[in-house]
Chains A and B, each alone.
Chain A
Amino acid sequence: GAVVSQHPSRVICKSGTSVKIECRSLDFQATTMFWYRQFPKQSLMLMATSNEGSKATYEQGVEKDKFLINHASLTLSTLTVTSAHPEDSSFYICSAGKPRSYNEQFFGPGTRLTVL
């Protein structure tokens, strides 16, 4: 199988605080993980690509100092939303690619972030 989990599934925080979202590949080692953001009734917007042991590559318009990504191991990537504001409220989804599994990504269930 290829299962990707995210934690937490939902988080509510106060404006100005930081929130960490974890993405784990449970039964495989993920060479690359991707972080997406989805606004209500819209498609997924790729935020960044992270490779284990190296800095994440951010898409144009995504603030790397606001959305900190750490891919510390082959099974874990974290997204930290720093100094969150209400406009950061969104659905965040991660995905992971398996080695030698060409063109296949496995998506986590998503994390609903609400900033009050």
Chain B
Amino acid sequence: GDSVTQMEGPVTLSEEAFLTINCTYTATGYPSLFWYVQYPGEGLQLLLKATKADDKGSNKGFEATYRKETTSFHLEKGSVQVSDSAVYFCALSGPNTGNQFYFGTGTSLTVIP
């Protein structure tokens, strides 16, 4: 079945460091791919998404490119800030999932000054 595999954390970086959180997926058909962010004690917020191969989602300095050939959707940011500390979830959804979302296990990011 459809699934998402996400890099395990926790990840600790210094401010202004480069961030990569790996995400790969398994799906039939052509799903949409998402990154959600969860701040402590809060619900999920959509960070970015891509709906077809080679699309690049971007928001708040974060980017991820939908790579069909490697079935990946890695999240990157060139210079992280303390305020980026949160848990990041990769997810997929598509016509073959009944629009149900499948989430990765989440990666906790802590950025230290």
Residues on A facing B (Cβ under 8 Å)? 6, 32, 34, 41-44, 46, 49, 93, 95, 97, 102-103, 105-110, 112
Q: Which residues of B contact A32 (CB under 8 A)?
A: 99
Contact B105 A103 (CB under 8 A): no
Contact A42 B42 (CB under 8 A): no
Contact A110 B99 (CB under 8 A): no
Q: How many B residues are at the interface, by size bracket?
A: 20 to 34
Some 17 contacts from A to B, beta carbons below 8 A apart, are A6-B43, A34-B100, A42-B105, A43-B89, A43-B103, A43-B104, A44-B44, A93-B43, A102-B99, A103-B51, A103-B94, A103-B99, A105-B101, A106-B46, A108-B43, A110-B43, A112-B41
19 more CB-based (< 8 A) A-B contacts, given A44-B103, A103-B51: A34-B100, A41-B106, A42-B105, A42-B106, A43-B89, A43-B105, A44-B44, A44-B89, A44-B101, A46-B101, A93-B44, A95-B44, A102-B99, A103-B32, A103-B99, A105-B93, A107-B36, A109-B42, A110-B42
- Binding site secondary structure of chain B: loop
What's the nearest-Cβ distance from chain A to residue B76, in Å?
A: 21
Q: Which of B47-68 contact A (CB under 8 A)?
A: 51
What's the nearest-Cβ distance from chain A to residue B37, in Å?
A: 11
Q: Which residues of B contact A42 (CB under 8 A)?
A: 105-106
Smallest CB-CB A-B distances: 10 pairs: A109-B43, A110-B43, A103-B32, A107-B44, A43-B105, A43-B103, A103-B93, A44-B103, A107-B43, A43-B106
